[in-house]
Chains A and B, each alone.
Chain A
Amino acid sequence: GEDVEQSLFLSVREGDSSVINCTYTDSSSTYLYWYKQEPGAGLQLLTYIFSNMDMKQDQRLTVLLNKKDKHLSLRIADTQTGDSAIYFCAEKTSGATNKLIFGTGTLLAVQP
């Protein structure tokens, strides 16, 4: 079955790098995503990676994909207090629909 898992909490100091990890089970996933949820708001797409890629970099964000281990990570360089939020990993299941399966979410707390 489909399952996406993340650790629940991560605390870092401002200026440090943050690494949020995710494991998934559907080896036929076509896209994997990172969404960000700020307090009291809905989720917004932060970045994504296609399943045939190993790495994607977008400014302060680096996404690493290890398909063999079904492991996805999000690295945020020079973490700022504005990065404090819940980060969700998600996979697009195989098939024609845009059905996404989300992980449990990781609360990132950035200490000044």
Chain B
Amino acid sequence: NAGVTQTPKFQVLKTGQSMTLQCAQDMNHEYMSWYRQDPGMGLRLIHYSVGAGITDQGEVPNGYNVSRSTTEDFPLRLLSAAPSQTSVYFCASSSPGGIGELFFGEGSRLTVL
């Protein structure tokens, strides 16, 4: 079972460069989300989506774009990377209802120089 797959696992960018973090899930989950993890700050929600074609902002959306053209994929785009975006990024998905358990990818570590 693949579950939630994130790529790349590691990336180094220069300030001002753009890139896309990929996230794909094979569990037919309608809900998908992106978090960033920083020391002492826990996980903070960047963007989320309740289904294809629907996205919404989380706690820290500035500097990030998302789209949801299919149920399976939820890419996170950094249009102009800044050092403040150095972090570990996690994609997570869940099915509607139930206990709302989130299934996480293994994370993408991004360094912006």
- Given B31, B35, B59, which contacts A97 in the complex, CB threshold below 8 Å? B31
On chain B, the residues within 8 Å of A8 by CB distance are: 40
Q: Are A98 and B106 in contact (CB under 8 A)?
A: no
Which A residues are CB-close (under 8 A) to B50?
96-97
The 7 closest A-B pairs by CB, nearest first: A42-B104, A104-B42, A102-B43, A98-B100, A98-B94, A98-B31, A43-B104
**Once the chains are docked, how many angstroms separate the CA of A26 from the CA of B79?**
33
Which of A31, A41, A42, A102 is close to B100, meaning CB atoms less than 8 Å apart?
Answer: A31
In the complex, A78 Cα to B106 Cα: how many Å? Answer: 28
Asked if A44 CB lies within 8 Å of chain B CBs, one says yes
Excluding A42-B105, A88-B43, 9 further A-B contacts by CB distance (< 8 Å) are A4-B42, A30-B100, A40-B107, A42-B4, A48-B101, A92-B100, A97-B50, A98-B102, A101-B59
* Residue total for A at the interface (Cβ-Cβ under 8 A): 27
Q: Is B12 an interface residue, CB under 8 A from the partner?
A: no
29 contacts between A and B (CB under 8 A): A4-B42, A8-B40, A30-B100, A31-B99, A31-B100, A33-B101, A35-B102, A40-B107, A41-B106, A42-B106, A42-B107, A43-B92, A43-B102, A43-B104, A44-B104, A45-B102, A48-B99, A88-B42, A97-B50, A98-B31, A98-B96, A99-B45, A100-B45, A100-B102, A102-B35, A102-B43, A102-B44, A103-B42, A104-B42
Query: On chain B, which size bracket covers the interface?
Result: 20 to 34
Q: Which residues of B pack against A, CB within 8 Å? A: 4, 31, 33, 35, 40-45, 48, 50, 58-59, 90, 92, 94, 96, 99-102, 104-107
CA distance A19 to B59 in the complex (A): 29
